[in-house]
Structure 1
Amino acid sequence: MAEKGSDKQSVDTDNQVAEEMLSDIKSTLPDAVAPLWESLESNPWLLAAVVIALGFILAKLAQWLFRSVLGKFADKTSGQFDDQLFAVLAKAIYSIIFFLSLLLAIEALQFSQSIDAFLKRFVATLLILSLMIKLLKITRIALEAFSNNKHRFKFIEERTIPILDITTKLLIVGAGLYVLILSWGIDPTAWLASAGIVGIAVGFAAKDTLANLFSGFFIVADSPYKLGDYILLDTGERGRVTHVGIRSTRLLTRDDVEVTIPNSVMGNAKIVNESGGPWEKTRIRIDVGVSYDSDLQQVHDVLLEMAEERDDLCKSPEPRVRFRAFGGSSIDLQFMAWIERPEQKGLISHQLIMQIHRLFNEKGIEIPYSKQDLYVKEWPGNISNS
């Protein structure tokens, strides 16, 4: 009974608003047109047709004015984002004015209360659906514009577009359905309560899946790595990121083995992004020791000349040689250089060690190593007799 009472009150309110709008229209008419309006009031169907025709004309006029005025500003910009946006907004204005004219026409027809309420709610439903479609188009246009290199925000990347697209669609459709239910005089409280109970049950049953799902959203939002980055995890996995999904992340290791890691693990792991920073270049360090009798300036010059001749080492930043410590049997040093890509680290380190060993042998630079000399003072008698 309470629901029927609220429906009746809503219908009475709509009727009152429509009657006030018709009264305002009548009061603004010139005296010469007033008799024509009164004659139209005596013929409801003719009045409804006139109201719809006027509404159509006003809607088209408003659409044309909107596109003409704002189109001048859109023509001054280079992109197509504002042109497409204004076109959709102009259609939304047309829809609002035209559907309002339909509501006035229904009021002019003076149907019974039940038929009048049904027709008005049906028109309101069409208006809500039309505006929902327009809003979905606006979000799609905005996401396409923001994914463009010329209109890119830091937190929006090409790989995040599908997630943002799905999220915005769910929010818009959900809000539209909620307003649509209210327009028909239905109380959605019980439905929302039931949906909440079902959501709690589903959350407990699929907590691991939801954990991966939310971690995937956080990874996309925080962006600790992206497709193509070379990363190293605290668990030892090292490889290039080949896929960032909602549930998991995939790495291709140097052994050409693909490792799939759940996003809940990635969200809590310590990640070293070797491709991050101001560039993708990676620094390699070769530890080596020379004897105390070596000419350290010669060692320094030999290593830098070697670096100058290699094309796989970056010239900027420049390679460096740093003597680090007086070791137990050698002077310890590091040869440091930058390479273009992290995956080259193993191969170039291998080649550098071989080349440094060859050059030091050619230049007479000793690389000391741990060795022991055994002196036998006297052989036991039984061994010497044999």
Structure 2
Amino acid sequence: MPDNDPTGLYGLSNLPYGVFTTADAPDHRRIGVRYGDAVVDLGAAATALGSPHAALLTAPTLNPLLAAGRTVWSAVRADLRGWLTERPDELTLLPLSDVTLHLPFEVADYVDFYASEHHATNVGRIFRPDGAPLTPNWKHLPIGYHGRAGTVVVSGTPVVRPQGQRRTPDGPVFGPSQRLDIEAEVGFVVGAPSTLGEPVPQSAFRDHVFGVCLLNDWSARDIQAWEYVPLGPFLGKSFATSVSAWITPLEALDAARCAPPERTHPLLDYLADDTADPGGLDLRITVTLNGTTIAEPPFSAMYWTAPQQLAHMTVNGASLRAGDLFASGTVSGPEPHQRGCLLELTWSGENPVELPDGRRTFLEDGDEVVLTAWAPGPDGSRIGLGEVAGKVCKA
């Protein structure tokens, strides 16, 4: 039985969901819940203990559970906490080291936002040194774009250096990206769908969003710079987006809720902050490169909140599907060590990052990036978010 220390990152207050297989049944994907350094076979528990939700919990992905909605999510979580507390000997717990983790849900649509004022300001200063850092619309709406759902991969999946067109003084050339970057982000996993034509207000955020995960939106800055005007990111972003193998339920982050930064511009009604139900989250992220910490971005500094992003994403009537994923955009804070990508950390290559194995402006083949994070939990505990790791492979 794993240690149920209330200060542990994966205790009863957390219980994130994932999908795993074992060596003796490599084709049998099962839903699991992380508890300490073990994995609870949730389908086996639901079947053995007569859960009315056993059919959802014996599926090979989280999607049926996602689609079931908030009432079921809360009931399953309450049952699981009760089983772990009162009937632990009737559960199948497997050592985390003995299982293989998989992408926990089938991604329906993927949307990436640009919600950090610090990140957007830094990028604006890098690319537009003689102009305003922020575009005129930035303080009035959450800027985002639709990404490629089919290349969202689980933590640990190798990332092949992308190839594409990039600009040189002699004209465009084709070849491997020379400015491969990471973006430390937070992803939000949609559960309950919505109806086409009916916007989802901020007040319905908790009815539609199942949980949270760390996310690394790998970026080829040289490919991106040549292609993104006038329509936005495309091949420079679509080759890989890494997500955690564990989805932390939104309910586990109640103690981490916080108010967003002070607003400097009035917001339209559908984006107005609800002071009684703040939309910010206090998540403390750490970025390591080859084992060395290079950044500690604070998610509490994000200007646009996830409820605002969901409201904006659907205000035109766009519908939600179970398995939709939307990401915060690069998380950066006001201090240099809080910048969530190499573009900012090195100021587009002018100030390399110092590592024990040499200096870096952008990623080299063989580099491994790992994102970890924790959030305040109840009674002084901490909630851990599953890590996101990825190693760069040669093109």
Shorter-normalised TM range: under 0.3
Structure number with higher strand proportion: 2
TM-score (norm 1): 0.19
Structure number with higher helix proportion: 1
Which structure is larger by alpha-carbon Rg, 1 or 2?
1
Which structure has more RCO (C-alpha within 8 Å, separation ≥ 6)? 2
